[in-house]
């Protein structure tokens, strides 16, 4: 067996999924918490060149992030060629709820997803999900996952690259080369973080630039960071990072547009410095990001800020690239559905943030997932 080391932080959901994957395939590994051990954090950065977790070292190979495709290549096993009643793409609130409802209807179900929990994983605190006064996104999605694992559902960590229909069967091909067959499909793959749109952005991703504050936040203890964005996610990240970092700069393109509950708490923090009506015009640094230049949109005046990290919270893009030409998408590349979660392709249903429904909330994604599952059952029983 290879020597495997996992560098992680305590609240990183993707770190937990790496460990769950390795446990599933009986892979022995050493886990190191770099959120509490600064010396090991320095070692991780030296090995990987990354200021983000998880980092997995397999013998001499360094794997950055939860790379489901590479982990499957190293440790996964061949998938059987079964025909499922329902294939669910995505394992966020919508996909996991759909899975439970399908299982309760005795439908043979497989869920394929790069991660378990989706966008909800990156929420520091959720205060509007019924039954909980407050719960972290990771904890809530862990409860969802536990319930799914109690059902007779196949849960595969992989990425669907294409879907087509041959005869009466839908075929989904994944990034690892596996093919899954199903009679119906439910699409719940959510969205991915929008990029800042600044030159050199890719260079600094994981090297001071992060899109997951719950994962990488602990690495910036007592450091100076910036949060880019003005919505609920940005304010929540700024509030939580103000408890960890020395100083937090909040860079807002126009004005803050968040719920009053977040605005009230944001105003209570003394170490958040806000620049409204500003954009990032450039990123600076060598191996690691060490500064940004921001620009006033009215006057054009530029300000240079020395810092250690930037957290991007500037919105989300639907994960629908592989569906182009297969079914109808709107101008924002969201899946167009009717009131009963039907897409433009019979036998294909969709739910959650990847669709054109107006409300993007965990509770509505879960409800839509239940609806999609019941519609899939009705379609199969006709």
In the set 158, 212, 341, 353, the catalytic residue is 212
215 is catalytic: yes
Cα Rg of the chain (Å, integer): 21
State how far the Cα of 364 lies from the Cα of 148, in Å rounded to an integer.
Answer: 18
Classify 361 as helix, strand or coil: coil
In the set 158, 215, 308, 353, the catalytic residue is 215
State how far the Cα of 336 lies from the Cα of 361, in Å rounded to an integer.
Answer: 17
Give the residue among 143, 97, 92 at the shortest CA–CA distance from 120. Answer: 92
Going from the C-alpha of 42 to that of each of 91, 136, 245, the distances in angstroms are 33, 28, 17
State how far the Cα of 307 lies from the Cα of 315, in Å rounded to an integer.
Answer: 22
In the set 12, 158, 216, 341, the catalytic residue is 216
State how far the Cα of 310 lies from the Cα of 228, in Å rounded to an integer.
Answer: 7
Q: What count of residues does the chain have?
A: 382
Could you tell me if 121 and 66 are in contact, meaning their C-beta atoms sit under 8 angstroms apart? no
**Where do the DSSP E strands lie in 188-324?**
191-193, 209-210, 224-228, 247-251, 272-275, 278-285, 289-296, 302-306, 309-312, 316-318
Could you tell me if 376 and 86 are in contact, meaning their C-beta atoms sit under 8 angstroms apart? yes
Which residues lie below 8 Å from residue 361, measured CB to CB, with a gap of 6+? 128
Could you tell me if 272 and 238 are in contact, meaning their C-beta atoms sit under 8 angstroms apart? yes
Could you tell me if 140 and 121 are in contact, meaning their C-beta atoms sit under 8 angstroms apart? no
216 is catalytic: yes
State how far the Cα of 362 lies from the Cα of 310, in Å rounded to an integer.
Answer: 26
Q: Which residues are catalytic?
A: 212, 215-216
């Amino acid at each position: 067996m290879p020597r495997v080391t996992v560098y992680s932080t305590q609240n990183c959901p993707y770190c937990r999924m790496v460990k769950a994957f390795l446990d599933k395939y009986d892979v022995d590994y050493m886990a190191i918490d770099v959120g509490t051990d600064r010396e090991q954090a320095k070692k991780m950065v030296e090995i990987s060149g990354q200021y983000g977790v998880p980092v997995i070292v397999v013998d001499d190979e360094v794997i950055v992030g939860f790379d489901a495709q590479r982990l499957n290549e190293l440790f996964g096993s061949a998938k059987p060629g079964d025909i499922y009643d329902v294939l669910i793409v995505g394992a966020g609130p919508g996909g996991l709820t759909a899975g439970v409802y399908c299982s309760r209807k005795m439908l043979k179900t497989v869920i394929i997803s790069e991660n378990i929990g989706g966008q909800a994983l990156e929420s520091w605190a959720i205060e509007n999900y019924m039954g909980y006064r407050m719960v972290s996104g990771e904890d809530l999605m862990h409860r969802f996952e536990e319930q799914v694992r109690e059902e007779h559902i196949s849960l595969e960590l992989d990425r669907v690259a294409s879907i087509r229909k041959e005869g009466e069967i839908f075929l989904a091909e994944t990034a690892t080369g596996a093919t899954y067959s199903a009679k119906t499909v439910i699409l719940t793959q959510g969205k991915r973080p929008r990029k800042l749109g600044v030159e050199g952005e890719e260079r600094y991703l994981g090297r001071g630039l992060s899109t997951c504050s719950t994962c990488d936040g602990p690495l910036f203890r007592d450091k100076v960071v910036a949060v880019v964005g003005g919505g609920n996610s940005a304010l929540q990240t700024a509030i939580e990072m103000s408890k960890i970092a020395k100083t937090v700069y909040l860079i807002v393109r126009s004005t803050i547009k968040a719920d009053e509950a977040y605005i009230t708490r944001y105003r209570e923090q003394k170490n958040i410095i806000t620049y409204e009506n500003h954009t990032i015009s450039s990123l600076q640094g060598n191996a690691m990001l060490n500064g940004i230049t921001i620009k006033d949109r009215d006057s054009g005046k530029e300000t240079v800020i020395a810092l250690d990290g930037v957290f991007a919270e500037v919105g989300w893009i639907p994960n629908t690239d592989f569906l182009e030409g297969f079914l109808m998408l709107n101008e924002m590349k969201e899946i167009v559905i009717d009131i009963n979660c039907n897409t433009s392709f019979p036998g294909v249903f969709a739910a959650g943030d990847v669709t054109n429904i107006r409300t993007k909330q965990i509770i509505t994604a879960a409800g839509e997932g239940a609806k999609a599952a019941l519609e899939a059952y009705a379609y199969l029983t006709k």
